[in-house]
Structure 1
Amino acid sequence: MQQTITNDKNTAAPYSRTNPFHAKVLKNVKLNGAGSIKETIHIEFSLEGSGLSYVPGDALGIIPANDPELVASLMKEMNWNPELEVEINKQGETLPVSEALTTYFEITLLSKKILQQAAELTDNEELQKLLLVENAGQLKEYCSGRDLLDMVQDFGPWKGSAQDFVSMLRKMTPRLYSIASSISAHPGEVHLTIGAVRYTAHGRLRKGVCSVLIAERIQAGDTLPVFIQPNKHFHLPESVDSDIIMVGPGTGIAPFRSFIEERAVTKATGRTWLFFGDQHAASDFLYQSEIEQYQKDGVITKLETAWSRDTDQKVYVQHKILENSKEVFNWLENGGYFYICGDKDRMAKDVHNTLIEVIAKEGSMSQEEAEAYLNDLKKQGRYQRDVY
């Protein structure tokens, strides 16, 4: 049963991070074609009856559940009775331990704090050694890419109760995803574009908590707890006349799908330029038919694509920006807005540096002057990034 918190005036409080709306899944489809090594999911939720709304650029928070197989392995390793009740918070609320580990606690992330508390529940010398001040580097390395199951397998035998263990864990944190739809184009709905995270580390297959839940265990008709997370630093220009340049390879396309849909509805007169990239044109061109239709209809003025694995030389979005440097600079000089969405560590950094290069080259500026120009764009809200 979906319950809504009510206040004194007996009116329903809005849904939020602490009171999420259980949204019904309308559609869950894989976007990649045959032969792709990627698994990108397009998922649509109904917001009917929630009173929730959003603007392009906002994010949707999902409160996920842990992988039942991981929970079962943990229970087996510790020999806990799944029905055993444990306290989950300071209010003294209880849940059976298997349910607490599935829905309430974060079990895929380790921290120094967890290992320090766990050290009190075992005589394992390896763990005590790992926690010595001089081994801080090794401790950090151990925590990276490992989870609670690794810890209980590596440092037993354990003498703590199930309650002792869950008391060390932090509450499940919501996962935030850039919204991939415009509510004007899809009233009462919200769409997301999610890449399933799977990798092997320390001899075991690891899965992204929320992305693999959606890729493997959620179907149309199921519900998930969600809330809207506004993003004041990433939004369309106020004027529909402004030009926009959007750089969003891979799942970075998500907010730009919402931007494009919104501009189609508002009949924006400003020009729209999309830079999209991924591995293979044949299998990884996300939303290809939609994008091509928007281009035909003139909603997208220019489209540049970069396919990194289709040629001997890897081609990325930043290479395409450089190829179009004169025109990119002209759009900026003309009051255009520049947006980046996607991978923070590599792509966003490379695009940022390429943009400085473009400004320096086309504006006949020094590196410092080009950086100052970009900083000025940022201050004006004309250089916006949504990176993760």
Structure 2
Amino acid sequence: MHVTDVEKVPSLFSRTNPFQAKVLKNVNLNTEGSSKETRHIELSLQGSGLSYVPGDCLGVIPQNDPDLVAALLEEMKWDGQAAVAINKQEETLPLQEALLNHFEITLLTKKIVQQAAALSDNEELQQLVADAEKLKTYADGRDLLDLLRDFGPWKASASEIVALLRKLPPRLYSIASSLTANPEEVHLTIGAVRYTTHGRERKGVCSVQCAERLQEGDTLPVFVQVNKHFNLPETSDKDIIMVGPGTGIAPFRSFIQERAVSKAEGQSWLFFGDQRSATDFLYQQELEQYQQEGALTKIDVAFSRDTEQKVYVQHKMLENSQELFAWLERGAYFYVCGDKQNMAKDVHNTLIDVIEKEGNFTREAAEAYLAEMQAQGRYQRDVY
């Protein structure tokens, strides 16, 4: 069998059969004094047969927080070793293991609260499910432990309550490395999510697992998720503009690595932003090195907490509007990765502003210009 034949064999590993990837490195990219924690994680794909291209995502099968599981067992006086069904086929697992690895316990849906109401005589709960608005407000930001604490006593077994829960879904992260540059490895950039609401500290299931419990040498169940709508141009002579504040830098690290290895002729321009340059400039040394070597043509940064007036990536786009439009006119591809709620909207609108101003267009014509870029695959977004 030729080597080329081996490469064509699809990997045996997938979403339903994840690969146990060994953790090679797990470091905090933010330095002391930062209000954020962003983990850079390097995983080995050795022996997996898995491959990916820049722009693809890595699916991670997470595990719930053992402390939260312990609190649930304690609250309900449940036996962690009792067998519970985990699917329609009536496969069973010990309750503690099922809550740890199988069920979503950090989110409430309206449906779960409605179904739970049948298992309690609590008046308040009956009123809550009768009012759609109140129910929506209650479910938002609360979890299973809140529900069980707020509306007991429960006339239900552990099995009946577990039957209300959804399966713990995999988490998808933009891959932060190029396979060409890092054979048999995959890197991730994950921001730890922690916040307090309704009187309790909340933790992102997968991000805090990675930040607090994932040690070098441990394994993490993973699979590759192809992302057909977020890729480098087919030819390496095209210019690329990348807007990726915070963990949105991840796929662009893979883009830049790939282009450095392939010695791409096209130019590249990165807009990066975060809170403070001293503590939150993710991958600063690497990026500066790429710039010195010419793999990254231009980098513009926005650190919102370093100045009295908050400066974000879209402000940097406006400052450079003339050059930005010149790149677009030359056929540059424009990429955005990161927060869907605010950043991606602001960047989208600013891009239209830039086109309108520099192209001397009406608003409608500027929007049509951007729509045409999108149709050509020259405006791509990876937002979450």
Q: What TM-score bracket applies, with the shorter chain setting the length?
A: over 0.9
One-letter amino acid matched to 1:99: E
One-letter amino acid matched to 1:155: F
What is the CA–CA distance in structure 2 between the aligned matches of 1:12 and 1:340, rounded to whole Å? 30
- Pair 1:331-2:327 in alignment: yes
Structure 1 unaligned regions, length at least 5: 1-10
Query: What is the CA distance between 1:129 and its match in structure 2?
Result: 0.6
One-letter amino acid matched to 1:82: G
Query: What is the CA distance between 1:387 and its match in structure 2?
Result: 0.4
Report the CA distance shift for 1:45/1:320 in structure 2 as closer, same or farther (over 3 A): same
Tell me, yes or no, if the aligned pair for 2:11 and 2:50 is still in contact at 8 Å: no
What is the CA–CA distance in structure 1 between the aligned matches of 2:220 and 2:29, rounded to whole Å? 21
Aligned partner of 1:30 in structure 2 is: 28
Aligned partner of 2:351 in structure 1 is: 355
One-letter amino acid matched to 1:176: L
- Pair 1:47-2:42 in alignment: no
Tell me, yes or no, if the aligned pair for 2:10 and 2:49 is still in contact at 8 Å: no
What is the CA–CA distance in structure 1 between the aligned matches of 2:40 and 2:338, rounded to whole Å? 16
| Structure 1 runs of 4+ with >4 Å offset | none
Aligned partner of 1:7 in structure 2 is: none
Picking from 94, 99, 105, the partner of 1:107 is 105
- Pair 1:375-2:371 in alignment: yes
Tell me, yes or no, if the aligned pair for 2:171 and 2:206 is still in contact at 8 Å: yes
One-letter amino acid matched to 1:27: K
Seq. identity, %:
70
What is the CA–CA distance in structure 2 between the aligned matches of 1:336 and 1:61, rounded to whole Å? 30
- Pair 1:319-2:315 in alignment: yes
Query: What is the CA distance between 1:13 and its match in structure 2?
Result: 6.4
What is the CA–CA distance in structure 2 between the aligned matches of 1:158 and 1:166, rounded to whole Å? 13
Aligned partner of 1:65 in structure 2 is: 63
Which residues in structure 2 correspond to 1:273-288 (within 5 Å)? 273-288=269-284
What is the CA–CA distance in structure 2 between the aligned matches of 1:358 and 1:141, rounded to whole Å? 39
Which residues in structure 2 correspond to 1:213-224 (within 5 Å)? 213-224=209-220
Picking from 72, 79, 82, the partner of 1:81 is 79
Aligned partner of 1:385 in structure 2 is: 381
What is the CA–CA distance in structure 1 between the aligned matches of 2:380 and 2:96, rounded to whole Å? 43
What is the CA–CA distance in structure 2 between the aligned matches of 1:23 and 1:374, rounded to whole Å? 40
One-letter amino acid matched to 2:271: F
Q: Which SS does the other structure have where 1:121 is aligned?
A: coil
More off after superposition, 246-255 vs 108-117? 108-117
Tell me, yes or no, if the aligned pair for 2:103 and 2:166 is still in contact at 8 Å: yes
Picking from 211, 234, 255, the partner of 2:251 is 255
Deviation track 1:334-375 (CA, whole Å, cap 9, x = no partner) reads 010000000111111001000000000000001111011001
Tell me, yes or no, if the aligned pair for 2:82 and 2:94 is still in contact at 8 Å: yes
What is the CA–CA distance in structure 2 between the aligned matches of 1:307 and 1:171, rounded to whole Å? 39
- Pair 1:162-2:163 in alignment: no
Q: Which SS does the other structure have where 2:342 is aligned?
A: helix
Query: What is the CA distance between 1:247 and its match in structure 2?
Result: 0.3
Deviation track 1:86-145 (CA, whole Å, cap 9, x = no partner) reads 11111121111011000010000101111111111110111111111xx21111111111
One-letter amino acid matched to 1:230: V
Picking from 133, 141, 144, the partner of 1:145 is 141
Picking from 198, 208, 211, the partner of 1:212 is 208
- Pair 1:182-2:178 in alignment: yes
Report the CA distance shift for 1:200/1:184 in structure 2 as closer, same or farther (over 3 A): same
Query: What is the CA distance between 1:14 and its match in structure 2?
Result: 1.8
Picking from 68, 87, 93, the partner of 1:95 is 93
Aligned partner of 2:242 in structure 1 is: 246
Picking from 166, 169, 172, the partner of 2:168 is 172
Query: What is the CA distance between 1:150 and its match in structure 2?
Result: 0.2
One-letter amino acid matched to 1:80: W
Report the CA distance shift for 1:287/1:13 in structure 2 as closer, same or farther (over 3 A): closer
What is the CA–CA distance in structure 2 between the aligned matches of 1:13 and 1:373, rounded to whole Å? 41
Q: Which SS does the other structure have where 2:367 is aligned?
A: helix
- Pair 1:117-2:115 in alignment: yes
Query: What is the CA distance between 1:12 and its match in structure 2?
Result: 9.0
Query: What is the CA distance between 1:312 and its match in structure 2?
Result: 0.6
Q: Which SS does the other structure have where 2:347 is aligned?
A: helix
What is the CA–CA distance in structure 2 between the aligned matches of 1:249 and 1:111, rounded to whole Å? 31
Aligned partner of 1:5 in structure 2 is: none
One-letter amino acid matched to 1:229: Q
What is the CA–CA distance in structure 1 between the aligned matches of 2:309 and 2:162, rounded to whole Å? 50
Deviation track 1:10-58 (CA, whole Å, cap 9, x = no partner) reads x996211111011110000000011100000000100000000000000
Query: What is the CA distance between 1:251 and its match in structure 2?
Result: 0.3
What is the CA–CA distance in structure 2 between the aligned matches of 1:88 and 1:341, rounded to whole Å? 36
- Pair 1:290-2:286 in alignment: yes
Q: Which SS does the other structure have where 2:132 is aligned?
A: helix
What is the CA–CA distance in structure 2 between the aligned matches of 1:50 and 1:106, rounded to whole Å? 28
Q: How many residues in Structure 1 have an aligned counterpart in Structure 2?
A: 376
Q: Cα RMSD (Å) of the superposition?
A: 0.9
More off after superposition, 118-127 vs 179-188? 118-127
Aligned partner of 1:131 in structure 2 is: 129
One-letter amino acid matched to 2:210: I
